[in-house]
Amino acid sequence: MLPPALHDFSGQRAELARIETALREERAAGAPPGLVTVSGPGGIGKTALAVQAAHRLAPVHPDGQLFAALAGASARPADPAAVLGRFLRALGVPATAVPDDPEERAALYRGLLAERRVLVVLDDAYDEDQVAPLMPAGGSCGVIVTGRVRLGGLGGARRIELREMSEEDGLAMLRAGTGDRLASVTGTEPADLVRLCARLPLALRIVGSLLVSRPHWRPADLVARLADEQHRLDALRYRDLEVRASFELSYEGLRPAARCLFRLLGLLEAPDFPLRAAAAAADTGLSEAQDLLDDLVDVHLLDIAGTRGGQVRYGFHDLIRAYARERAEAEESAEVREAAVVRVLGALLAVTDIADRDHMGQSMFHRDAPRWRPDRVEASLPPSVPPMRLLAAERAALVAGVRQAAQLGRDELCWELAVGAHTLFEAGRHYDDWQECYDTAMRLAGATGNLRGRARLLISMAGLLYTRRRYGPAEEANTEAMRLFEHIGDRRGHQEALSNAPFFLVPAGRLSAAVTTGSDAYELLLADGQTAAALHAYSQVGLAHLQAGRAEDAVEVFGGIVAGAREHGIRTLVARDLYWLGQAWLALGRPDRAEETFTELTPLTGDMGPSDPFYLAHARGCLRLARGEYGEARRRLLEALELARSLDDPMFETRALVDLLDVRLYDVRDHRDLRAAVDRAEHAVAVARGIHYPYLLAGVLEKAAVLREAAGEPVAARELAGEAAAVRARVG
């Protein structure tokens, strides 16, 4: 009773092997039959795989192969009693001898198969109740059941879930199905067709049929048709083969609320999403949303995309997403569609609020874009996962959300999402995402005349430029933000820009101005209750003191910041300023106090982001250097250097190089390879010049001068020393 196997069957080799292994095993007569279930979305190739496996297994089931299409995805699934009637007649029972009672049919069926080696293939099952009467009783038989649902109630089954094909298998299937049509194609068209079909076997079979039946079509013509996302499903149709119809069977079988959620989730641009996004899309509770998601996952209209940030993520197959959007546009008004997207993005904004508060203790800027049910968003977050890790799981969703908010013309929503992602992008050094979000939101803010949004985005851009060590342009962006905030009378925004101002003065060597500006900002912000911003600004006062040689003042400032940050639970500032407090103790010649401080820093790693390992390795290297443990200092500082280069951070690299040069200078026992040390100094000078940081440049130049002198190059040494003195003179 088996249908013929496909001549161009490709891929799914591992799954095919698993079915064969399971159903070739010897089983005792009293054992249950061998059972394999194959589940997956429509068009994924369940039937083709089952039939292919059944043909291969025919030799070990010599008494017959039964096959039934159970039509589980249709509006009228097959009646098990009717299927039993067909099976009994196929097994030699005269039509007049087939019992009318379903239970008697099942008993006769099981009796006939008890001593036979028969393979039963039940294709497209609806549920376990439909399958149960069709199951043989003895271990001599094997059963393969396919379905869009997972049939978890069938005990003892080997379960296989099909996913889209690999690109390699997709190309093999396409070439096998088109004969010589693609033999002479040397461009990317075959790979493009596989990609546009989202590696779905049904779609690839349709594309192959179209190419064969329409010889006047070039592969490039079909690529162009499929590239039109709005009409892609229209193009994926050949006679009775249609991708849309395959999805429609699963969709129509859903209850109304699940169909509605399916439509609304298809509108999202994010590649995947958590439970709270589904709850926001449907504007319902978390438990109700979970039930609806489970309905969609059960029939493979949604996939489990993995777990990130301690939460399950859901995602669409590309063609199923296209179908979901198609249904949304056909069944929902534009107002309903936009409202659903805005709710989901509002839930994402609520997550950025939580992460921002956790990261810096408080947020300075007013937030006017709508948030969706902050209480439900809070309830959806796993309590043991740090908010910044939760936000990191939403990185792709944030970038997509900024784009989608811009497409909707929602300027407040757009810039707030872009700004809400700032902390994540800064900590993770996701420069490209940061730039894209800024550009997208700034274009919309400019087009709509949103001055406050422009000002807040300029602060974000100043942060990006600062993190990339472009201090001059960063200061210009921050100054323009201050001007805009002052123009529109936004005192809080102006204060935030003011809190950033000292950060651009220290790298420029304007240390006196940094102390004055940072102290003024500290007092102003503290009086206004902006503790986090005040401590943030004050850190640059400590750094200015440290670079000016006033280590005692630096210890006092950093010690106060650490105490204040601890009091207010601002872990990021505690971690960052413990590092600088330890450096200040080293500058005072107190490695004992520095070690105590760096020991406190160790358990806090993770609060500053990917740069944490650098800070820790550098701190340990500097401590070993101060103690004269030059071998261990070199090892730690080389580790810090590699970490700095992996972060593509020239300032971190310069710091590590400066201290490595100190190792060479202080370790009087090390007279090896002086030429290599001079070369390293030249590299350090080049890196330091590139970041325009006078304090670091002067230190590198001075050490390079000493090495040149030791190498017998007095002229070069004098030139470097003179340049260092000139740089020092500009620092004040």
Most confident of 159-163, 207-211, 345-349: 345-349
> pLDDT band for position 62 (50/70/90)?
very high
Are residues 723 and 619 both part of a single domain? Answer: yes
Mean of the pLDDT values across residues 719-729? 91
Q: Does the residue 73 lie in any domain?
A: yes
The pLDDT value recorded for residue 604 is: 72
Q: For 192, what's the count of Cα atoms within 13 Å in the CB-facing half-sphere?
A: 16
pLDDT at 69 over 90: yes
Contact in structure between 131 and 79 (CB atoms under 8 Å): no
How many structural domains compose the chain?
4
Q: Is the pLDDT of residue 672 over 60?
A: no
Q: Which among 586, 603, 625 is the end of a domain?
A: 586
Instruction: Summarize the confidence of residues 315-331 as an average pLDDT.
Output: 95
Let me know: does 478 contact 459? Beta carbons within 8 Å: yes
Q: Which residues contact 165 (CB under 8 A, 6 or more apart)?
A: 10, 11, 12, 45, 173, 199, 200, 201, 204
According to the model, what pLDDT value does residue 150 have? 87
The average pLDDT across 655-659 equals 92
Q: Which helix (H) or strand (E) holds 526?
A: helix 511-527
| Separation of alpha carbons 716 and 720, rounded Å | 6
Cα within 13 Å of Cα(160), Cβ side: 26
Phi, psi of 231 (to 5 degrees): -115, 20
SS3 call for 67: strand
Q: Are residues 103 and 208 in the same domain?
A: no
- Whole-angstrom distance, CA of residue 693 vs CA of residue 698: 9
Q: Is residue 483 part of a domain?
A: no
Q: Do 117 and 29 fall within a single domain?
A: yes
Q: Which strand (E) or helix (H) includes residue 445?
A: helix 431-448
Is the pLDDT at 134 greater than 70, yes or no? yes
- Of 4-8, 606-610, 698-702, highest mean pLDDT: 698-702
Q: H helices within 25-161, ranges in order?
A: 46-57, 80-90, 102-113, 128-131
DSSP 273: B
Across residues 165-186, what is the average pLDDT?
85
Backbone angles phi, psi at 147, to 5 degrees: 180, 160
Look at residues 355, 322, 336, 25 and name the one whose alpha carbon lies nearest to residue 158.
25
Note the pLDDT of residue 366. 65
**Does the residue 316 lie in any domain?**
no
Give the count of beta carbons closer than 10 Å to the beta carbon of residue 686.
12
pLDDT at 48: 93
For the ranges 154-158, 400-404, 470-474, 608-612, which has the lowest average pLDDT?
Answer: 608-612
Within-domain flag for 199? yes
What would the pLDDT profile of 275-317 be if each residue is shown by its tens digit? 999 999 999 999 999 999 999 999 999 999 999 999 999 999 9
Rounded mean pLDDT of 382-395?
90
- Give per-residue pLDDT as tens, 601-632: 877 765 446 788 899 999 999 999 999 999 99
Residue holding tokens 């396409």?
174
Q: Is residue 433 in some structural domain?
A: no
579-594 pLDDT per residue, tens: 999 999 999 999 999 9
The pLDDT of 470-494, averaged and rounded, is 95
> Residue 365: its pLDDT value, please?
62
| Neighbouring residues of 365: CB distance < 8 A, sequence distance ≥ 6 | 419, 456, 492, 493, 496
**Are 81 and 181 members of one domain?**
no
Does one domain contain both 154 and 182? Answer: no
CATH code where residue 646 lies: 1.25.40.10
- Amino acid sitting at position 563: A
pTM: 0.87
**Cα separation, 725 vs 186, whole angstroms:** 63
3-state helix, strand, coil in the chain (%, to 5): 65, 5, 30
Q: What was the pLDDT predicted at 669?
A: 47
Is residue 309 situated within a structural domain? Answer: no
Average pLDDT over residues 693-709: 90
Locate 531 and state its tokens: 């503790």
Residue 521 pLDDT more than 90? yes
Q: How confident is the model at residue 520 (pLDDT cuts 50, 70, 90)?
A: very high
CATH of the domain at 580: 1.25.40
Same domain, 107 and 27: yes
Q: Which of 146, 161, 176 is the last residue of a domain?
A: 161
**Same domain flag for 157 and 229:** no
Q: Which pLDDT band, with edges at 50, 70 and 90, does 59 fall under?
A: very high
Domain co-membership, 140 together with 175: no
Neighbours of 373 (CB within 10 A): 20
CATH code, 101: 3.40.50.300
Give the integer Cα–Cα distance in Å for 224 and 388: 42
Query: How many residues can be counted in the chain?
Result: 732
Same domain as 131, residue 38: yes
Q: Does the pLDDT at position 564 exceed 80?
A: yes
538 shares a domain with 660: no
Same domain, 153 and 173: no
Q: Which residues on adjacent β-strands are paired with residue 231?
A: none
Same domain as 636, residue 720? yes
Give me the pLDDT at residue 608, please.
47
Q: What is the mean pLDDT of the chain?
A: 92
User: How far apart are the two ends of the chain, measured CA to CA in Å?
Assistant: 91
pLDDT, average across residues 655-682: 78
Tell me which of 245, 269, 288 is where a domain ends: 245
Residue range(s) defining the domain that contains residue 128: 13-161
Q: 335 lies in a domain? A: no
Q: Indicate whether 358 belongs to any domain.
A: no
